[in-house]
Structure 1
Amino acid sequence: MTMHAVRIDMRFTGPPPGDVPAAHLNLFLGALRKNGQVCGREWPIVMDSGACVTTVLTPAADSLDARYHGTYVRRCIADAQLAGITFAWSLIGEECDSAEACGCADPGAYVLFTTYLTLESPVRCMDCFGPVPLYRFTAPPDTEFHDVISWQSDYQSCDHLQMNCTVLEKAATRQMSVIDSALSAAGRACCAVLSERAGKPFYYYLYRDKGRSAALEAQRRCPACDGPWQLPARLHGCFDFRCDNCRLLSNVAFNLRASYMMTAPDQLPAPIAPCPP
């Protein structure tokens, strides 16, 4: 199961409203996005046979089912009906370039993870590493996933800057790498809220760009508790460090990955077990 492309039609039961019709559709799409039912924030809107039409990406084929609607989505639909507007959607097909979604019945834990290339949900299953739709973590009444989506947008902006290597590269990389940065603080706060809703551990990923040597990388300790956190083997092709006590993940510095993998085992410290939960 991957993300799906879905066509959404906004139709009018009478004459179109006097204001810009697309504004009503944008309100609906914004509510769906903040509820985790729509991924991304770019949706071209066109008029087709008297209806406003757009194409969106959804986490799954059934993501727009009414059972997943949050408070604001239901309110938006009700307000639209009073204005003589109805919404309908139809499945176009699978999105060919997205990650395989989580199909685990009962994941043991989750991680907050995204990149500048990612359109999927920023929550990943720690068992299969597949994206998990946000609406699975039912929000309390009158709340949305605004904090999680805002964090994802901020993180991806920083990732863009550090990948472009032109403007604010060092500042952006620090936000992604340091545990006490504003970005990390916001992300860990999201993890705490989501963990409470799910009743499962939520991990936060600290990006590691550059290091001085493979041996020093292997000696890194958890930046929160200073405990051992080196993993005996790379997890999901991404993570080399995990602290179960502080619920943090990280990687061997990208500039040293090749030399770290090629270093003879007897030249590196022995693998250290992660902190106990």
Structure 2
Amino acid sequence: MYTYEYRFYPRSFEPEELDVFIDNMQWFISCLYKNGQILSEFQNTVKCAEYFACRIVAPERDSLSEKYGNRYTREFFEDVCKDSAKPPELLYIGENYDVEDSCTCEAPSHYILFSECLWAASPIICGDCKCPVPLYKFPKTYDGTEYFDLLGWQKAYRACDRQFFEGIGERHGYKMMHDPNSLLSKEALQYCSIMEKKTGKPFYYFLFTYYKKNKPVCPKCGEPWANQKHAISRKIRYDFVCHQCRLVADDPNF
């Protein structure tokens, strides 16, 4: 992951004009997130003497390139420029070691929908290297323009994991993540189906397990799904896999 700093130079610091400028600036940053170009965490905006400095974290070195932009990032960037004393500047700060590195595989064989409460990266990981894949590498999921819906699912998942992790609402959070028929899991499997149709690559959903080992049959269809020594599906690096239901899982390691 890589840290950048945007510098925005407002033409006027008069309250009314500045409010409009700040709104457009914040919308631009928000659209970068909804387009998968930056992470929601680690954003920090500071008012300096003549400009606003906004630190952001991007999944790849070229994530902020125009080629990955969408209609909204372009529109709000233009709105910011209209009220700027000079064009915004983008400074490269350095590598960020607080977040997982992005996948560098040329052609992943399959993908996994995965998240957790401390997972700030893309909710889609490469099935071969288990590293996150930037969302802008995939077809858009929301209105043909961005990934707002998929990122909303990720927020819901992280909220459930936080409930489980903190012990408040532990049972509810665990059921949402472990039960393949929960609302959270059903929505996840819908996204897997959508992305599989759009990409032509298999998409699996990671089913979280904690309290005890998984049963030898898939919790959704009842068919055997043990992937002992990964002999059934050598490329799928999980203890359990159901190709029919597009589910993968690991046994707890304690």
Normalised to the residue count of structure 2, the TM-score between the two structures is 0.89
Do the aligned partners of residues 220 and 41 (structure 1) sit closer, same or farther apart at CA in structure 2, a change above 3 Å counting?
Answer: same
Secondary structure of the 1:139 match is coil
Q: 1: distance between equivalents of 2:179 and 2:237?
A: 18
Structure whose CA Rg is larger: 1
Secondary structure of the 1:102 match is coil
Task: Verify the 8 A CA contact 1:71 1:142 in the aligned structure 2.
Answer: no
Task: Verify the 8 A CA contact 1:22 1:52 in the aligned structure 2.
Answer: no
Query: Counterpart in 2 of 1:69?
Result: 69
Query: Counterpart in 2 of 1:59?
Result: 59
CA apart distance, 1:222: 1.1
1:230 paired residue among 223, 226, 229 = 226
CA apart distance, 1:70: 1.4
Secondary structure of the 1:239 match is coil
Query: Counterpart in 2 of 1:23?
Result: 23
Task: Verify the 8 A CA contact 1:27 1:76 in the aligned structure 2.
Answer: yes
Cα deviations across residues 38-76 of structure 1 (Å, max 9, x unaligned)? 112452211123111111111011100000001211121
Task: Verify the 8 A CA contact 1:110 1:126 in the aligned structure 2.
Answer: yes
Task: Verify the 8 A CA contact 1:129 1:236 in the aligned structure 2.
Answer: no
Query: Counterpart in 2 of 1:187?
Result: 188
Task: Verify the 8 A CA contact 1:229 1:242 in the aligned structure 2.
Answer: yes
Query: Counterpart in 2 of 1:201?
Result: 202
Query: Counterpart in 1 of 2:211?
Result: 210
Task: Verify the 8 A CA contact 2:8 2:84 in the aligned structure 1.
Answer: no
Task: Verify the 8 A CA contact 2:42 2:55 in the aligned structure 1.
Answer: no
Indicate the larger mover: 15-24 or 69-78: 15-24
Q: List alignment gaps of at least 5 residues for structure 2.
A: none
Do the aligned partners of residues 156 and 237 (structure 1) sit closer, same or farther apart at CA in structure 2, a change above 3 Å counting?
Answer: farther
Query: Counterpart in 2 of 1:151?
Result: 153
Secondary structure of the 1:111 match is strand
Secondary structure of the 1:116 match is coil
Do the aligned partners of residues 238 and 163 (structure 1) sit closer, same or farther apart at CA in structure 2, a change above 3 Å counting?
Answer: farther
Task: Verify the 8 A CA contact 1:35 1:134 in the aligned structure 2.
Answer: yes
Q: 2: distance between equivalents of 1:41 and 1:210?
A: 30
Q: Cα RMSD between the aligned structures?
A: 2.2
CA apart distance, 1:21: 4.1
- AA in 2 matched with 1:29: I
Do the aligned partners of residues 87 and 191 (structure 1) sit closer, same or farther apart at CA in structure 2, a change above 3 Å counting?
Answer: farther
Query: Counterpart in 1 of 2:7?
Result: 9
Correspondence 1:91-110 to 2 at 5 A: 91-110=92-111
Secondary structure of the 2:228 match is strand
Percent identity over paired residues: 29
Q: 2: distance between equivalents of 1:197 and 1:53?
A: 37
Secondary structure of the 2:63 match is coil
Normalised to the residue count of structure 1, the TM-score between the two structures is 0.82
Secondary structure of the 1:103 match is coil
CA apart distance, 1:239: 2.8
Task: Verify the 8 A CA contact 2:3 2:95 in the aligned structure 1.
Answer: yes
CA apart distance, 1:237: 11
Structure 1: 4+ residue segments shifted above 6 A: 234-238
The number of residues matched between the two structures is 246
Query: Counterpart in 2 of 1:137?
Result: 138
Task: Verify the 8 A CA contact 1:102 1:128 in the aligned structure 2.
Answer: yes
CA apart distance, 1:121: 1.0
Do the aligned partners of residues 20 and 47 (structure 1) sit closer, same or farther apart at CA in structure 2, a change above 3 Å counting?
Answer: farther
